[in-house]
Structure 1
Amino acid sequence: MRVTPLKAISFVSLSAALLSSCSLSQYAAKVNGQVITQGQLVSELKDVASNKPFVAQIEKSQGSIYGSGAGTFSSAFTAEILNRRISVTLIQQALKKLHLPVSQSALAVAYPEAAAGFGGATVFAGFPKNYQAQLVNDTAAIDTLEAHLVGKSLSPTAVNNYYNQHVGAFTEYCSSDILVTTQSAAASIAKQVAAGSSFASLAQKDSKDTNTASNGGALGCGLLSQYSQAFGPSFAQEVSSLGVNQVSSPFQGSQGWYLIEVTSKPVVPETQAVPNIVTQLLGSAAPTKLADYVQSFAKASQVEVNPSYGRLSLANGQVSVLPPSAPSAAAQKAFFATPS
């Protein structure tokens, strides 16, 4: 889930303790007459907030999801959740108009994809069961429309066939590096490794890679595509040429001279590879086609957002809910004084 930067809101509390039964039934948004109630929005916010490991992941990079008052959520986080619900509702309505049902096959593919998109399988399992099902249904709807737009199949058979035909692409390389400034220094270390010295000990003693030296040079594990993105194609090629426990000859990289040791080569299980496989099967043009279609569908639709939660924007090729500005103290007082 992409979450925008957050700012606190104290005007519209999204705590069930502060929202009356009357206000819970009122609309948060309307999409072609289909109502997303405030109660549904509160329920989704609570489902997200109940998963503490997932919240911790969000807050690590984005800041608190909560508002200034007890039991409240920030306006930006609330707008993000509402925006996602509006977007999925538009997609579901588009599928109905196109007479495209979400199949059981699509749901089967969507489960591992949803789990990966919401923190990984372990974190995903921390959501309430009903919310897990909702997220899987959301993902399946998105996949179904996207696959239709590019004329591709996302059946479990198609996913399995791709995995079996490209298993090498899902092999992770766990490696360690030693970085030095000169070719002669690298050659000296290579001789010591060949004579039986520990690669990890030499990395701790001699490597100039400040990110890995203290940990024996350990870079971690990644696909070759990830190595290529992080270090460049030539670095990835060196890694791919090595067997387990094999050390490369010294080679020059962007930061100096390297030696690489591959410590293991685990294969990513198919269930974990599904998100990457879906991306490959649909092709690079699919996200743009989906975004363009949804925006076009939204422009032809009647979408109304309760001003308490912000306003709808179709700018920059995206459907988004822009959170409201903080209201005045007088407006807050008037809001809470209004009987239901």
Structure 2
Amino acid sequence: MKHLGISLLVLGSLTACGEKSDDKNSESGTTITAGSGPISVAALAKPSDLGTLSRAEVILAMESNRADFLATEIEEPEAEEPVEEEGDVDCAAALSTVQVVAEGDTMSVDINLDMTECLKKAWSEAGEGVTASVTKAVMSFYIRQTCVGGDLSSFNGKMLDEVGNPPECDNNKVLMNMTSEMVASISGNGQSMDINSNSTNVFGTDANEPCLMTKTADGYAQDGCVEIFKSVGPEGNGDNEYTKYTHNSLKWVASPNNTWYTSGSIAVDMNDWAGAVTFRGADINPLYTMEYGTEKINGTLTVPSGLYFKNSLQRAVKRSLPDLRKMR
């Protein structure tokens, strides 16, 4: 993960694109309710029925997701933020009304976001000839950040988009749980899309506890953190996906650019394939290996461009929602 991990500050960036008016949020059809805390450790387990990935699919996945292995990402200037089209409905805009809970050295957000009615409205207005049925579209966020030895109590009760940079921490603990469930069908212009999935994104430890990032003399260090991306569909193993990254002795330095970790490795578990990415320096492309049975892949990751740290969670949420403009 990046030098601050997935934190409340990143979740706050999700509110930047939407309307901030309480009235407009309520009219959008999105509702927010209190969450139920961290998900269970059992929910992190690897599904027993997974599709078999081909060699080509694994290579494509490693290349497509190479930003997952960056230590730092470019931060995009505010002026270059994508502009929403007039009339677009932003179903995540209601997040701007969420209040942070903070006490002592810890602040957190624990909510359920029901976008079912909002998406019905948004997709019904997607364009002429487009029809949509949305049965369920729910996301949950549990995010906890601890600035060990710091004082975050002044953030208690603030809206997400009001949270600025917290005090500098030598030891920073982060836990992020994000789940989503969506059942919908969309058709238009000769195309159709059926969605029926449950997904889980986690950053923390194997026990789903906050992961520790420490400040060192020349940068930052992290060991034992895990990232899990899990998606389970209704049609059996062909719809199920599982990826797990385990951070091993990672070190890195702060940078305004896309850079790699300076040392350490990330173990990769992708469906039935297993391997690792090995880091050799901030500006040296890392090597990776992946194995399954007698199959073995050796590759090198190259630095991606056009990726922005502060919007990483926003990108994750938007990836969960189909882009209906492609169907117009």
- The reply to whether TM is greater than 0.5 is no
Q: Structure 1 or 2: larger strand share?
A: 2
Q: Structure 1 or 2: larger helix share?
A: 1
Give the structure-2-normalised TM-score: 0.24
Give the structure-1-normalised TM-score: 0.24
Is the radius of gyration larger for structure 1 or structure 2? Answer: 1
